[in-house]
Structure formats: structure tokens, C-alpha cells
Structure 1
Amino acid sequence: MANDYILSSVTDVQQLLKGNADSQSVAMLNNVMAETIGMAMHNAVTAQHNAQMLNSATTTSTCARILSVMGAKPPAPTPPPGPTPVAPSPATGGTTTSASSTTGADPATAATGSGTSAANNGTSN
């Protein structure tokens, strides 16, 4: 009688393991298929993007050639903006002085006006 119980439990364990193995293999197959389809979609999107970039570059090159054959010159690029002019101050009577024109002053001290330096992290004296 003990042999029948042992034989039955071993048979049950084998069926349980076989059932789990089948479902695990199907789950693995599904994961591999999902990864494969995902990579195929990624490659398709990348190929489409590259084709659009090539199309845009070709169109730009063709337009530039047409313009060069017709003798049309592209517009000149605008120069970068220069420094903004400083309005005269009413307190000084219309004259401005720069920090570098002060006599005997350290340029770093004259520019900040407070004598701060990088060593004290900008705290005032």
C-alpha cells in the first residue's frame, strides 16, 4: 500500500512538472516573439526616419543647385547683435565713466563696486 502512495505522488509530481514546463516554454516563446516584433518595429521606424532625412537633404541640395544656376544669391546672414549702447545718466550730466578709467583702483574691485572676490564667494566685506 505504501508503494501505491509513493507511485501516485511521484506520478502527480511528474505531471505537475510537465505542465509547468509546457507553460514556461510557451511563456518564453511569447516573450521572444514580443521582443522580436518590438525590434522589427524599431528598425522600421529607424529606416523611415533615415529615409525622411535623406529626402530632406536631397530637396535642400536640389533647391540650392536651382538657385545657383538661376544666379540668385541666398540672403546674407544677419550679423550678431553688438553691445547695447548705454544711455547717458542724468546724475552725471550726460557723461559716463567706465570701471577701467578709475585711477589707482583694481579693475575687479572697480567693476563690482564692493571689493568682493571669488575667494569669499561673493559675500560683501
Structure 2
Amino acid sequence: MDSILYFLFWAGLIFIMMRFGCGAHIMGHGKPGATRDDPGASAADVRWSAPETDIDPVCGKTVQTRNSKSAVHDGHVHYFCSRECRERFEAAPDSYLGVAVGTIPKMSGQAHG
């Protein structure tokens, strides 16, 4: 009888913790659908989603972000068409980000896709 009460006590405590405490988000009791514009939303409630396409800052190609390589620089995510473009960007990111919009830097005869 004591072992059943012991089990029920711990099961009840775990249930209460999962329902109201640290595990509430696992059981789906968080704030679903919170947005950045919601004044009651905390930073943990906001989810970032990538755009469908972006421009490779190295070669200027339009890339599908779902299948592309990515790198983060100064808090911004940049997407690349190839590993080579990402490596060139990571070696000198400021040289590619300082380029005026609408101009494409010259590549050294390297073809990739």
C-alpha cells in the first residue's frame, strides 16, 4: 500500500510540474501562435522563419533558402548557392556586404551552381 501511495505522490507531482511548470511547453500549454507584434509575447514565444528565396551576397544569384548553405554575420543570416561562396564570404564578409545594391562583384572565372 505504501508503494502505491509513493507512486501516486510522484506521479501527481510530475503531472503538476508538466502542466503548470517547466514542462508546460512540452504538453502544449504554452502560447501557440504568439507573434512579434503581440505585447504579451515573450522572446521565447517568437519564432523566426526564413524567406523562401534570398540573394547570394557573393555571386548575386537568387537561391532557395530551404536547400542552401547559410552563415550568420552581425546577427543576419545570409544564404549561399554553394559551399565555395559561403567560404569566400566567411573569409571577408565586409567586402561582400559593403557592395552597393544592384552590383555584382566579379568572380575569378569560377563557375558553380
Higher helix share: 1
The structure number with the bigger radius of gyration is 1
Q: Which category of TM-score, normalised to the shorter sequence, fits these structures?
A: under 0.3
Give TM-score scaled by structure 1 length. Answer: 0.24
